[in-house]
Amino acid sequence: MIDSISPIKARLRSDLRRLLKQIGPEERTEASRRLCLRLPQTDVWLKAGRIFLFAPIVTEPDIWPLAELAIAQHKVVALPRFKSSEPGYEAARIDNVRHDLALGHGGIREPAPACRAWPLNELDLVLVPALGLDPGGHRLGRGKGYYDRLLAATSGVKCGIVFDSQVLPAIPAAPHDIKLDCILTPTRWFVC
């Protein structure tokens, strides 16, 4: 089964990467702003004391203002930090978005080595990037399985954060693919 869906996923990844490059800076900024306004109004955010965010790359929604908001609201904030020994990601806590970060794997901001690791099973809300999602909670990642391994160890609500155009009718899933609990876009909220 996995062999039969791999080419479909590869084609979807290519199509979605092309689509994301077509989103202009103004549209990206406005959509990101709307996401950052909507998420703190959801029950999953309001109930969460420990939040796992991601440092967005240029084609992802810029949810970075939520890190500062969560810290100001006295929530525990953790981000992925790449572990080359496994390889994969762990969660590490940050207390200051200006001082606790370093450039990590692939040039992505991540907690500095001095930041302590945070147990994945002690997170209330996990914000998840994706190339594509479907309303059933299936996620199309970048293809290396790093986030699936990380999500398998988390016990919190898993919430996909994407632009509206990244929500597809269906995404093929393999047994190791971890489903999300909900999805937030600039204009929609899905409970999966």
The per-residue pLDDT string of the chain (192 residues; one tens digit each, 9 = 90 and over) reads 456 788 889 999 999 999 999 999 999 999 999 999 999 999 999 999 999 999 999 999 999 999 999 999 999 999 999 987 777 899 999 999 989 999 888 888 999 999 999 999 999 999 999 999 999 999 998 877 788 889 999 989 999 999 999 999 999 988 888 999 999 999 999 999
| Residue at token pair 């689509």 | 19
Burial zone of 170 (CB within 10 Å; 0-12 exposed, 13-18 middle, 19+ buried): exposed
∠ CA 143-4-184, rounded to 5°: 45
Q: Where are the domains of the chain?
A: 2-144+157-191
The CATH architecture that domain 2-144+157-191 belongs to is 3-Layer(aba) Sandwich (3.40)
Residue whose C-alpha is closest to residue 82's, from 58, 96, 102: 102
pTM, rounded to two decimals: 0.92
Burial zone of 51 (CB within 10 Å; 0-12 exposed, 13-18 middle, 19+ buried): buried
- List the structure tokens of 71: 């810290």
The rounded radius of gyration (Å) of the Cα atoms in the chain is 16
